[in-house]
Structure 1
Amino acid sequence: MKNLLLFTFLLLGCFSALAQTDALKREVVGRDIGQLKGIKISGRIIDEITGQALVGATVRIPEINLTRITDNNGSFELVVDRAEYTLEFRYVGYETKIYPITAVGDGRLSIRMLQEDFTLDDVVIYGSDPEKNIRSTNMGAVTLSVNTMREMPPFLGEVDIVRSLATLPGVSQVGEASSGLNVRGGGVDQNLIQFAGAPIYNPSHMFGLFTAFNPDMVNDVTLYKAVVPARFGGRSSAILDILPKAGSVDKWGGEVMLSNFSGKVSLNGPLIREKVSILGGFRISYINWLLQSLSNPTLNTSNANFYDGNLIINAPISDKNEFTYSYYTSYDDFAFASDTTISWQNQAHSLIWKSKLSNKLSLEANGFYTLYDYGIFNRSGINDFEINSDIQDMGARAYLNYTLSESNKITVGGEYKQVSIQPGELIPTGVEEDILPKKVQNEAGREMGAHFQHELELGEKIGISYGLRYDLYQYLGPRVVRSYQSGKPISDGSAISETTFADGELIQTYDGLAPRASFRYSFNKASSIKLGYNKMYQFIHLISNTATIAPSDVWKLSDGFIEPQIADQVSLGFYNNFKGNIFETSVEVYYKDLQNVVEYKDGANLILQNHLETELIPAEGQSFGAEFYVKKNLGRLTGWVSYTYSRSLRRVITPFEEENINNGKWYASNFDKPHDLTLIGNYKVSTYTSISATFAYSTGRPITFPDAKFDFSGNNLAYFNDRNQQRLPDFHRLDFAVNFKLKGTGKFYDGNWTFSILNVYGRKNPFSIFFDDAQGQPPQALRLALLGIPLPSLSYAIKF
């Protein structure tokens, strides 16, 4: 390990030396005003209002068919001969800028672009690069801007980031009111979700009815589901990278939105004009009126509340250096029938530094701290108690981008993080208690990684991207670790001794190399084929027997008994654009192999368990599928159709027959949904009015039904045989929305109004199936539908 770190530092030092040599050469040679060839035109593109760098903007000179894309600092560089040219600057959602220039010597430009109001019906606006899906070597990487999400029907009155991503092929959710994403047959814990570089452990409000991220604080989101860049690690399925928005460095402004379920307000402006901006946002729910109007006596005596807040300070102190501090907090509580309250809270701090060290070398560094705590509080008056748990995650990462040329780029870097988990503590709170206090042992671990990636274009037809990541994980004390009798299943009865490890003492180490590679061959400018391979390690697990995140679930670090999850994925895709990039299509197939997936034993007790290894069992998994995608980018009618056929399977085979699940045969995982279809449409009726609709259909997820019931000591007990052999009914739902803007003399009437209907035809999609036991009869299956009626919402938003 020491040799690897030494090699990394030497490599970073070499890049720094190259940058200094390059800068010194420019100082000695100077600028030749009269040069005929090799004229360098460089610059930076920023938002005219916020001053935020526009990453991925397109810079084009049509006379010589030269195109460049801005880097992470919004910078670009062109090399031309002495002549007259036209510079075109394009970025999705922004007005196109065109400048005629005469190149006679090296020069630098500062371009400010303004967001497009879409006030003209005949304006055609392309994305940041309309051919990016064809020319890029990236596979399974999808970036959505908030402007794109706004064209979809809102969920309960506002844009929902997570649900927007679930409309893409290969991405799904297990049902209504479900938190997190299931990507290519993976669980929600197999995704790393980070906001401004800080990991977020529960991305939902109200058990998934709302996304925990305020869209007004988000610039764009990128989901990596196939070949993940080497700078990301720690999860075995996907990476969701959410970048924050920056405030204005020029003037103060804000936005207010009110709906019948929630409200939010944001304010932004310059702390130091043209240098430092601040953006703050706050969102809160008032959905209790809906619960109180329900006929169910349990629900109408319940209460639900949430809020979230953001503070973002952005300091583009120069064209070469930019600092961003981000603070995020969210809180939820749900009081069930006024006696049991469930709550959870996220807090995240991050500081990002972007620096352009030279024309070829740039640096990005990020430090973060995350706290996620959750609890259950019983206030029934009988045996009152509370259960508290939390996770703390802190670390830092940095990487260098070295651009040898526009078609030859190298990235190298490393990261370090520490994770601490307090799995659970039971505290009696009543005056007279029959419950004894209990505290589960804390856990601690640290992860380190070093990575390298090289992107290379070999002519116009071939592109290659390959990288290597080294992951090192250490499980630390303090902890009391059991030893178990050999030749017997791990259980409380087979424990033979205990070993005590001191604070910070090393208990277990895992490491491994995680290569990634992708290859692209372009048949022409409109079509290409790509092949990719990806390997990832995951050292933290969500211990649950449900299909979605619940506050009672337990997060568990890898230890001597529970090994890291390992995922190997192979992908193949064909991409084709039609009619000048108006239509975008793709077909991708994939196969993923999973090792050390955590499953629970039959009858497992997962709550307040000091030795979870006695309740868990390792499994192998596999998922495979085909994804089809057709998108219309331009015109009055825009939208997309995505269809996925996929399978997600598990198998448990152990030396002990009694621990095998389904007799060692393959069975469907909780996230197995073979068919998943989504249709999205947005029709622009006029300049100020649009209509949008979403239809979703998917196979019902697997579930385990009891095969029989029997009497034991006077108690009726259910008997379960094979796991996940039945399914919930198929899911389908239609959502509809009308967006319109009223133009009047006052600002109140100039706001944006959105009327939407969720679940237009009142489909009672089951969230779960439970059984009611009647004397002398088989157990009766009952369906729980959280959204069984059409649900209208009206929202109003105004900017000032």
Structure 2
Amino acid sequence: MNRILLFLFLLLGQASWAQTSPPPKREVVGRDIGQLKGIKISGRIMDEITGEALVGATVTVPELNLTRITDANGGFELTLDRAEYNLQFRYVGYESIEHRITAVGDGRMSIRMIQEDFQLDDVVIFGRDPEKNIRSTDMGAVTLSMNTMRELPPFLGEVDIVRSLATLPGVSQVGEASSGLNIRGGGVDQNLIQYGGAPIYNPSHMFGLFTAFNADVVNDVTLYKAAVPARYGGRSSAILDIQPKAGAIDRWGADLMLSNYSGKISVNGPLVKDKVSILGGFRISYINWFLHAMNNSTLRNSEANFYDGNLVISAPVSENNELTYSYYTSYDDFAFSSDTTISWKNVAHSLQWKSRLSAKLSLEALGYLTRYNYGIFNDSGINDFQINSDIEDLGGKLFVTYELGAANKISLGALYKQVAIQPGELVPTGQEDILPKKVQDEQGRELAAHFQHEFELGEKLGFSYGLRYDLYQYLGPRTVREYAEGQPISDGNAIAETQYADGEVIQDFSGLGPRASVRYSFDKSSSVKLGYNKMYQFIHLISNTATIAPSDVWKLSDPFLKPQIADQYSLGFYKNLKGNIFETSLEVYYKDLQNVVEYKDGASLILQDHIETELIPAEGKAYGVELYVKKNLGRLTGWVSYTYSRALRRVMTDFEEEKINDGAWYPSNFDKPHDLTLIGNYKVSTNTSVSATFAYSSGRPVTLPAAKFDYSGNSLAYFDSRNQSRIPDFHRLDLAINFKFNGEGLFFEGNWTFSLLNVYARKNPFSVYFDDKEMAPPQSFRLALLGVPLPSMSYAIKF
């Protein structure tokens, strides 16, 4: 009887333990339950979708500090004692898995792992939902994770956010060392770039050699290039939303990267354990040794420096409320041959509050302050001076979302912002007779209200539609000219001036911007989508270059410079193949542009108090076809993107002297009809991967002199038609190899990355300049920035 009671007591105790303890994810039941030592546990690790064996995956038993690596068939074997263990399975590029087992005898197990952050197509790059590109109503919304970007060959030793996006269809750059992006026929100023919700006006270091964002402190990057949600506005082409990473609330950690061109460090951890986290990052360059080794004498005698810093403080105030503060700063200075220095600086603050008011209702509020300034300093000893300019952007946003159902939600929101620009001030710094000059300050404010409704009708139909109302006001104080009616806007035709007081409304513009997209799914692996959006832009980059330069002038819309308006139509077909291993898409678009800014022939754009005398309103159009094929899984992954597109401009005016190319359509500065990118990444083993990028694009348009003539003893160039010639086509091959060292049982883990840019030494032109030749038209020459293969090496460790 005692034995029976003891047996019942043990049985009840075991049942009680089973009810109060979480069930193990995998239990291995052996054939010999009496065995205490030498238990053999074998298994095989495979890809979740393809069933492919994962060679070189690691199996770790933390309790024994034991690690095994899978063989050529993905197999492994462990020898354990009878006990409970938490097995950890890891493989590069895959989500880690942890299984708790109870080893009571010999047994076998199968582990299936899924790749992390590897779902990319022309619409969305998602992880963990291989069919969302088919089912989503989003068009042209691309979300890149840091893991995806790290697989591309680094530029000068670093992950480059902007260049990673430029590998996607419909996204391009004008050439090497160019800042900003040209998206579907738009200029670099037609993209709103925001970090933590705050706009950034110059996203580059060293004129585009480096992106001004430290990838180690970035969580993800989302680009909207087609049917832009109604919550975004202020630009007429695309939105680039960069979200900072939050620090850990339970432990401290750090990342350190050193390359032969730059270095960076980030530290994160709990300010208040489990309540408040902090993340700080800092990056600095030491690239002068590279400049001093270049063949070009101007660059060889130049100096360059930059740094950027980030701070993110995140506080989960309660289970349903979170407060986040983000700070970003960047600084550059570049000294040409030690006499002229150009510098620029970004500073951005943002404070965000997210609240879950109920199971269906959520709220988000954000306030920000952004400052951008640049300076040009001449210290040659002759006519020394400095030119300064700055922008201040202060705003707030409010968003409310109500979920009517699992696939039915409504979003409402509003925005207020005020922008103040100091376009330029000349300050003499020497003893020469240079007169100081200051261009009139200007300011304006924007108000917007918007709503968005997303819902599905069954499995085949999905809809998203919204409306945004924008109101813009151009404010005093300012002196505004009046020009003679029926005459070109020029200094000679000014007939009067009006003085406006501080805060007085000089001019206002408003408009409705509808947004809509619809998706029809043929089945779970294919769909077709149609989208439309209208967007307004009230700030313009006044420049005669194809990329952002520090000396470019930002200008608000005023009585003479109307807001840019863009209407875009998109149609796309999307197809996944072989269980979502392959993703394909074909998308076409057409875009109408109104009030695009062009400049008169021979225009002078710096320190112009009435810059409207140098500008001409133009119309534009852009259209294209984008083809995309991506392999998501397997040892070899990558994608092919090809875009055929045109970006054209036309100036129609009643005045002959203002016409460009006789009123005919002509290519914009960034029109590149053909753009091809090939990306490949091959996983040699769990710790080694090789990647390659090949890019080809048509040469961008330039205006070359057709002849020359003598005027008052000077030889001057004669230009006939604008943008009717092209620089040579761009093409380049980059390679990289990455070695990863897992920090099993160590203090840190590290990555070595070796890259070689411009493998076959292509002399792609960075700029085109002219030189005079006797008895001949001026001759054009190219300046190649990367005319030779350029190696880089970096080492990154994680503490």
Same fold (TM over 0.5): yes
Match of 1:281 in 2: 281
Match of 2:51 in 1: none
Pairing 1:793–2:785 present: no
Match of 2:470 in 1: 471
Match of 1:578 in 2: 577
Distance 1:414 1:151 in 2: 38
Relative to 1, partners in 2 of residues 1:590 and 1:700: Cα closer, same or farther, differing over 3 Å? same
**Deviation by residue 1:352-402 (Cα, 9 ceiling, x = unmatched):** 111100000001111000000001000000010000000000100011010
SS in 2 for 1:521: strand
TM-score with structure 2 setting the length: 0.85
SS in 1 for 2:492: helix
Distance 2:772 2:345 in 1: 36
Matched letter for residue 200 of structure 2: I
Q: How does 1:148-159 map to 2 (within 5 A)?
A: 148-159=148-159
Distance 1:128 1:317 in 2: 29
Deviation at 1:293, TM superposition (A): 1.6
Relative to 1, partners in 2 of residues 1:124 and 1:269: Cα closer, same or farther, differing over 3 Å? closer
Q: Is the 8 A contact 1:576 1:585 kept in 2?
A: yes
SS in 2 for 1:317: strand
Distance 2:702 2:776 in 1: 22
**Deviation by residue 1:61-102 (Cα, 9 ceiling, x = unmatched):** xxxxxxxxxxxxxxxxxxxxxxxxxxxxxxx96446899xxx
**Deviation by residue 1:248-305 (Cα, 9 ceiling, x = unmatched):** 1001110110000000011111001111000000000000001112233322211000
SS in 1 for 2:297: coil
Bigger-Rg structure (1/2): 2
Pairing 1:317–2:331 present: no
Q: Is the 8 A contact 2:97 2:113 kept in 1?
A: no
Q: Is the 8 A contact 2:271 2:277 kept in 1?
A: yes
Match of 1:620 in 2: 619
SS in 1 for 2:787: coil
Q: Is the 8 A contact 2:706 2:777 kept in 1?
A: no
Distance 2:141 2:158 in 1: 25
Pairing 1:245–2:245 present: yes
Distance 1:745 1:654 in 2: 70
**Deviation by residue 1:181-213 (Cα, 9 ceiling, x = unmatched):** 000011000000000000000000000000000
Q: Is the 8 A contact 1:195 1:241 kept in 2?
A: yes
Relative to 1, partners in 2 of residues 1:299 and 1:524: Cα closer, same or farther, differing over 3 Å? same
Deviation at 1:643, TM superposition (A): 0.3
Distance 1:529 1:582 in 2: 19
Q: Is the 8 A contact 2:642 2:675 kept in 1?
A: yes
Relative to 1, partners in 2 of residues 1:232 and 1:124: Cα closer, same or farther, differing over 3 Å? closer
Deviation at 1:721, TM superposition (A): 1.0
Relative to 1, partners in 2 of residues 1:231 and 1:433: Cα closer, same or farther, differing over 3 Å? same
Q: Is the 8 A contact 2:528 2:574 kept in 1?
A: yes
Distance 2:196 2:720 in 1: 46
Match of 2:90 in 1: none
Match of 1:644 in 2: 643
Match of 2:670 in 1: 671
Q: Percent identity?
A: 76
Q: How does 1:387-786 map to 2 (within 5 A)?
A: 387-430=387-430, 432-742=431-741, 750-786=749-785
Unaligned runs of 5+ in 1: 1-91, 100-119
Relative to 1, partners in 2 of residues 1:766 and 1:747: Cα closer, same or farther, differing over 3 Å? farther
Q: How does 1:77-156 map to 2 (within 5 A)?
A: 94-95=95-96, 124-125=115-116, 127-156=127-156
Distance 1:510 1:93 in 2: 51
Pairing 1:179–2:179 present: yes
Matched letter for residue 532 of structure 2: Y
TM-score with structure 1 setting the length: 0.85
SS in 2 for 1:481: strand
Matched letter for residue 536 of structure 1: M
Deviation at 1:777, TM superposition (A): 3.2
SS in 1 for 2:776: coil
Q: How does 1:251-400 map to 2 (within 5 A)?
A: 251-400=251-400
Deviation at 1:748, TM superposition (A): 8.4
SS in 2 for 1:226: coil
Relative to 1, partners in 2 of residues 1:737 and 1:351: Cα closer, same or farther, differing over 3 Å? same
Q: Is the 8 A contact 2:705 2:777 kept in 1?
A: no
Match of 2:71 in 1: none
SS in 1 for 2:207: helix
Relative to 1, partners in 2 of residues 1:727 and 1:655: Cα closer, same or farther, differing over 3 Å? same
Deviation at 1:657, TM superposition (A): 1.6
SS in 2 for 1:148: helix
Match of 2:9 in 1: none
Distance 2:94 2:420 in 1: 42
Match of 2:17 in 1: none
SS in 2 for 1:635: coil
Q: Is the 8 A contact 1:533 1:571 kept in 2?
A: yes
Matched letter for residue 161 of structure 2: I
Matched letter for residue 625 of structure 2: A
Matched letter for residue 511 of structure 2: G
Distance 1:158 1:93 in 2: 22
Matched letter for residue 311 of structure 2: L
Deviation at 1:407, TM superposition (A): 1.3
SS in 1 for 2:657: helix
SS in 2 for 1:577: strand
Matched letter for residue 676 of structure 1: D
Distance 1:417 1:96 in 2: 46
SS in 2 for 1:707: strand
Deviation at 1:121, TM superposition (A): 10
Q: Is the 8 A contact 2:675 2:697 kept in 1?
A: yes
Relative to 1, partners in 2 of residues 1:420 and 1:686: Cα closer, same or farther, differing over 3 Å? same
Distance 2:133 2:94 in 1: 18
| Count of paired positions | 691
Deviation at 1:309, TM superposition (A): 0.2
SS in 1 for 2:777: coil
Relative to 1, partners in 2 of residues 1:357 and 1:749: Cα closer, same or farther, differing over 3 Å? closer
Matched letter for residue 165 of structure 1: L
**Deviation by residue 1:398-435 (Cα, 9 ceiling, x = unmatched):** 110100101110000100000000000000000x2121
Deviation at 1:317, TM superposition (A): 2.5
**Deviation by residue 1:300-322 (Cα, 9 ceiling, x = unmatched):** 21100000000000112222111
Deviation at 1:743, TM superposition (A): 5.6
Relative to 1, partners in 2 of residues 1:788 and 1:749: Cα closer, same or farther, differing over 3 Å? farther
Distance 2:672 2:336 in 1: 30
Unaligned runs of 5+ in 2: 1-92, 101-110, 119-126
Deviation at 1:741, TM superposition (A): 1.9
SS in 2 for 1:751: strand
Matched letter for residue 572 of structure 1: L
Match of 1:50 in 2: none
Match of 1:66 in 2: none
SS in 2 for 1:779: strand
Matched letter for residue 603 of structure 1: G
Q: Is the 8 A contact 1:93 1:147 kept in 2?
A: no
Q: Is the 8 A contact 1:121 1:686 kept in 2?
A: no
Deviation at 1:231, TM superposition (A): 0.3
Matched letter for residue 677 of structure 1: L
Distance 2:229 2:321 in 1: 24
Match of 1:13 in 2: none
